[in-house]
Chains A and B, each alone.
Chain A
Amino acid sequence: MNELNRKGGVAAPDFTHQPDAGGHFGRYGGRFVAETLMAPLAELTEAYERYLKDPEFLAELDDDLRQFVGRPSPLYYARGWSERLGGARIYLKREDLNHTGAHKINNTVGQALLARRMGKRRVIAETGAGQHGVATATVAARFGMECVVYMGAEDIQRQAINVYRMKLLGAQVVPVEAGSRTLKDALNEAMRDWVTRIDDTFYIIGTAAGPHPYPAMVRDFQAIIGREARVQILEQAGRLPDALVACVGGGSNAIGLFYPFLADESVQMYGVEAAGEGLTTGHHAAPLCTGRPGVLHGNRTYLMTDDDGQIVETHSVSAGLDYPGVGPEHAWLKDVGRVQYDAIDDKEALEAFHDLTRNEGIMPALESSHALAYAAKLARKMTPDQIIVVSLSGRGDKDIHTVAAIDGIKI
């Protein structure tokens, strides 16, 4: 599609044929795991590549996305909010309306179908805010699979409601006491479980990171977001958008939105990381903005790491962005200049949360609020004939205790 896409005589990167056979996006990605996992990852790659071309698998996936998840999700023109901002027209891709309330289910449905075909009866997952844990527990309940979710002990305190939802769905939630007791430690522990029970277990990674094939596989399952949005904006506005905006933790909703537009040169893309208390304070979760390349969790990517190579603790008001790494395709898209990455701090995200809730009657997740805050800034610099599509990756119900506590209100 894009092989001959040339700019000023220099071949533009071929966005549609990434990664290479070893899972590399440029110098990023790859497969950096202990030997025990190498053969199982090769087996998973083979299965994923085979089933992604299998009409029967694709038909079943499509049916599940329609009937179980509720796709396609609407592309909603936020007229009131756009007019108040006085700039570009903002359209919201409503992933918050999916079953379980976030984009995470697009991927867990896909991976669970793959797990079934591979004969695995047990699924495991890591979770930070609990959205991916709930989405995994949901598909496990539906397919009658055993489900174990690893969650940092710190996050279990912060996200009690999602913990209970997972338990209601029949999942076992295992608190992780190691390290910083958050998402990165949950991922370590899930890897340890997987290496111990490879024979009967499928590890459903929730973001577009980890060893190959996960970054590509999660992207492919999430690309439904961008494929739908592309068709919908052409229907509704008669043209492609000028800009796409999505929040980036590991980056699965962002890559899902961006990927089908990568070859559309007129479309600018913005990935928004969590600036936490501010990029200069060190208390943030913005590896693309402030970090450097390193290796963690099976892939080479931008990381928050100190001079000794230890992983630095992160901070964000939104647990789903509280992660020191990022998917390797984002690292590559940053380096080749196709996507711009910037950051929004806790305060700006909370303002956007309230703003959208009061002006559009839509309560966004705190993760998505980072994208909304950035889109609002961007829109003000643009004109009403221009269009921004924002990934509204999840709904905010899970965050009302956090917001209330910050606003000094006891529920």
Chain B
Amino acid sequence: MIRANDVHMMKRTLIPTLIFLMSVVGGLKGQLSFKNTTQYTQWDEFDRNIVESWTDLTYQKAQWLVGGRFEVNDPPDPFIFPRDTLVDEYELTYRFVQYRYKRLTARLGNFYTIFGRGLVLRTYEDRNLRVDNNIDGLKLNFTGRSFKLQAIGGKMRDKYNRRPNTVFGFDGEWNAFGDLTVGGSFLRQGESSTDLHNVYAGRLKYSYNRLDFYGEVVKPQWHNALSYYGAINAFFSEMAFTFEVKDYNQLSFRNDYETEYNAAPSLSREHSFALLNRHPHALNLNDEKGYQFEMTYFPATSTQITLNHSQTYSHSNKRIFNEYYGDIHHYFSDKLEGRLAAAYTYDFTTRTENLTPLTDLSYNMTPRDQIHINYQHQHTINTVNKSEYDSELLILEYSRSPYLTAGLVGEYTNQHQLNNIDLDRHTWLYGNITLNFLRNQQLSVLYGSRQEGFVCVGGICRYEPEFEGIEIKLTIRF
């Protein structure tokens, strides 16, 4: 007879035993991959301590691949999950089994996928943005000699792991001849409480000598207009160009919890410098059109010049966003490299014009020791009341490969001097130390204060509030 105590003991030992067995079998017979990122944040202002953790595990045995992800949000960060009662603090958010037979791949469980350039369907995970709209269902992929086919069916999640609607779709591509490829997509949503049901798309890719063309046209069932995206690339010996155009008209395809199935290219430059992301463009699939042009020029092997310009308008020709960006990157010697960049942006959402010059220098003291200095300045004009202010950001960083990176980041703004602005603070300073050990294990500690701002990827942005406190992040990977 099994007693309650025994059941409790079995429960306590079950998971470690399974892990042990899986690891032994995995190590000897297949490949086991493991990654855990755990982050502890002590937020002084709100007297809040948050533990977040993501554990990913995959096991591969020949053509079989199984995997899962376990997430911890203890307690849920209210800036990410405003409706915290909907969040399970400990949850298996992703699990799958996949089998590959020759050119056919079948996957059951959670998956990410894309049709074309994402105008019809794009599901993905981005932890910086806290986006994870994976589909739970079945995905089949077949790659032939001159064609590719994909069929999917399942339910897409929102950030609270709710999956209200069933969706299924097909995508195909055929390399008709030479450098011409044509393709098409279809996606259908079931049980929808709105009139968003079907979307169709066709696309074409063509290469001719030094030119490449990509075009995709989409027809949603719920609106008469077409939406499209096009890109042309041209390559010469010392120069390369890309020109993209977009017209997104009532294209947002959402489930009943307002999570979008599609994520089309936003046609604005992705920046890695903090101040250039302060007033970003947030993509609106229902009403925007525009273009982006970028040129890269190599006047010498040690120098690269990049110029970029993008414009976004609404269909009523209201200016939404535009940017002019220029960047010179030069290697002065084997030890010293520098970068000088400047951008002008107009953003309708924040009603600002911004002029942002910046400089970035790296000096290699030894083959393993490097100093990095980055200075960014931003002059902001509010286009409504014409008030102006400046922001400065300075990064000083030392790294010793492969063990250590230590940095200081300071920011100042005179925005508090404006009459209509209530800003408690105008300087922020934090120190950050990252230690690498046992090759892929990483411990990072951040202490101090950090200015609010946007984290943006692919035209999708998340507001990151002002922070003061300590953040400890441990990443273990084997």
Q: Do A and B come from one complex?
A: no
